[in-house]
Structures are given as structure tokens and as C-alpha cells.
Amino acid sequence: MDMKSLTIGRLAKQAGVNLETVRFYERRGLLPKPPRTASGYRLFPADAARRLRFIRRAQELGFSLTEIGELLSLRVSRRTTSADIRTRAEVKIADIEAKIRSLESMKKTLRKLTRVCDGCAPVAECPILESLDREDA
Amino acid sequence: MDMKSLTIGRLAKQAGVNLETVRFYERRGLLPKPPRTASGYRLFPADAARRLRFIRRAQELGFSLTEIGELLSLRVSRRTTSADIRTRAEVKIADIEAKIRSLESMKKTLRKLTRVCDGCAPVAECPILESLDREDA
DNA sequence: CTTGACCCCGTACCGTAGTCCGGGGTTTAG
DNA sequence: CTAAACCCCGGACTACGGTACGGGGTCAAG
């Protein structure tokens, strides 16, 4: 139990999540199984909190836990070739860019709306529908 | 039943959602209650499909149905003042900008990863954890 | 050496967002 | 006129992402 390890309770507090959520993510494989003390207590490395915060943020961006698992597994190692990782990373980048474009489009519409508000011109229709409306999924 | 109205089934197909989902959104108030035929069939205006597609996209960006309802209600009318709408729109813009920043950060990390792949330098750690990791919610 | 805070585990339960079912009327194409 | 295809409704069911519960062991302060 050196200073660098965290019990599950401390980790949960540091990351701002429920303790049960930590166990749940461990079961789901989003958090690597931590070493245990002789009595069975989990001892998480300090950077587990960073991983938890990453998961939370990614969720707010509309990624499912399964997709987050895929993001977290993006790294080069003996088992995975560079080319494989590269391809998978590029797919994720494309997903992300699509999300950014949708958000930019929503933002533009909302900005237009605030300008209309300044001009005091009443808009009866819902202007945000203009955004996010062209083709593809 | 003019050409411009859609039965629930046609609407669902056009928007690419399940028919039950349309009824569900109507119950949730995300879709305005459509007029009915004498026999009770719903007749949706043609632009209901646009609204459905907006809802789906916004969900992919991590907005809950409740938040989507708030976005859809952003418009100026007798009941809502320009100033009120303006304030609410600005809050939403700030939310959106935060999402965009997080996504840009993820994207940057993934780009770095693809460059590493090109250079064939193996990375054992999970580099994406570098992103989305500073302060605030 | 006890008491309160913390941890273990499995299982049950919850909210959100749908999705399905089934018994019944309606519409439309043959 | 009838059969297929479509629509109505209420209510049950599902999947996902947690969250709570409860019975038990552990650890640290007094």
C-alpha cells in the first residue's frame, strides 16, 4: 500500500464517480483488474482516476461504453500491429469529425438565433431544425 | 389527406426510425401532436421527418431527450421573451463548445497515435488518456 | 480489543429510451 | 367484397448504464 495506490473508495472520490461504478467498469473491462492486498482489497494505480474521467467525458460526447472500450484499446503492442491500430484510429477520427461538424452546425444555428434575439425579430418556427439536417447518418 | 401529410408509418420510414419511436416521442412532447383523420389516424406535416432526424443526431452527440426538448423549444414567441431565449441559447452554445473542445482533444491524440504508427514506434501505454483530462466537468 | 469506516461479493433494483404484443378498427388493391 | 397492409391503444418487455442492499470480513484510532 504505497502512497501511489488508491483504494476503491478513494479512487471513486477522486474521480467523482460512485464506488459501485468503479466495480462496474472493472467488470466491463474498462478498467484493468487491479492488484489486491492479501485480504482482497483492490489497489488501483494513481492514473486509474484519469481513466475514469476519460470514460465520463467520452460518455458525454455520445460514446457508448463499448465504443469507449475500443478507444481505450487503441495502442500499439506486441499483439496489435501498427497498421491495424492506424486503421482503427482513423475510423475513430472520422467519427469524431462527424460529431464536430454536427455540433458546429448546431452552434451556428444557435448563434443566428441569438442575433435574431438582438434584433428583436420574433421567430415562430423552431430555427434549430435547420441544423443537423442534411443527408447521411 | 393531402400529399404533404404523412401517416405514422411513412414518417417513420422516411426518418429511419421505428414507428413506435414516433409515438414515444409524441408522448414525450418532442413531436407536436399531429391532427387526426376522422378515424383517428395521425397525419404528420412533412417536416416532422426533419425533426425526427434532428432528435437522432442530437442524441448521437450526447444530448438526452430532455435536453433535446429544451433545444427544440428555443424560439421566440409571445410567451417567451427574446432576452430569455437569448440566455438559454447562450447556455447551450457554451455546452456545445465544451463538447467540441473535448472532441478536438480526442482527435488530436488519435492523430498523434497515427503518426506514431507511421514511425513504427510501439506505444505500450494508452495514449488517448492524455486527452479529456484537465479540470472542470 | 472494540468501534466506526472501509472493503468484499452477489444479487436486486432503478431510470432512460425505446420496442414489442395483441386485440381491435381502417384503407386499399385485386 | 375480401385480404393484405396499415393504424389505434394500453401495457408488458428489453437493453444499457448504473445504483442500492445486505451479510460479511478488514483496518486504524482510541
Residue of higher predicted confidence among B132 and B57? B57
Query: Average per-residue pLDDT in chain A?
Result: 88
Residues 6+ apart with CB under 8 A from B135: none
Report the distance separating Cα A30 and Cα B70, nearest Å.
32
Single-letter amino acid code for the residue at B78: R
Which architecture does CATH list for A1-62? Orthogonal Bundle (1.10)
The CATH number assigned to the domain with range B1-61 reads: 1.10.1660.10
Residues 6+ apart with CB under 8 A from A117: B76, B82, B83, B85, B86, B89
- Lowest mean pLDDT segment, chosen from A20-24, A124-128, B133-137: B133-137
Cβ contact, residue pair A106, B71, below 8 Å: yes
Q: Evaluate if residue A135 carries a pLDDT over 50.
A: no
CA A25 to chain centre: 13
Q: In residues, how long is chain B?
A: 137
Cβ contact, residue pair A128, B74, below 8 Å: yes
Q: Evaluate if residue A23 carries a pLDDT over 90.
A: yes
Cell of B4: 404533404
pLDDT per position as a tens digit, A28-57:
999 999 999 999 999 999 999 999 999 999
Residue of B50, B54, B104 with shortest CB distance to A100:
B104
Cell of A62: 455520445
Residue of higher predicted confidence among A132 and A134? A132
Report the distance separating Cα A87 and Cα B130, nearest Å.
20
- Mean predicted confidence (pLDDT) in B67-92: 86
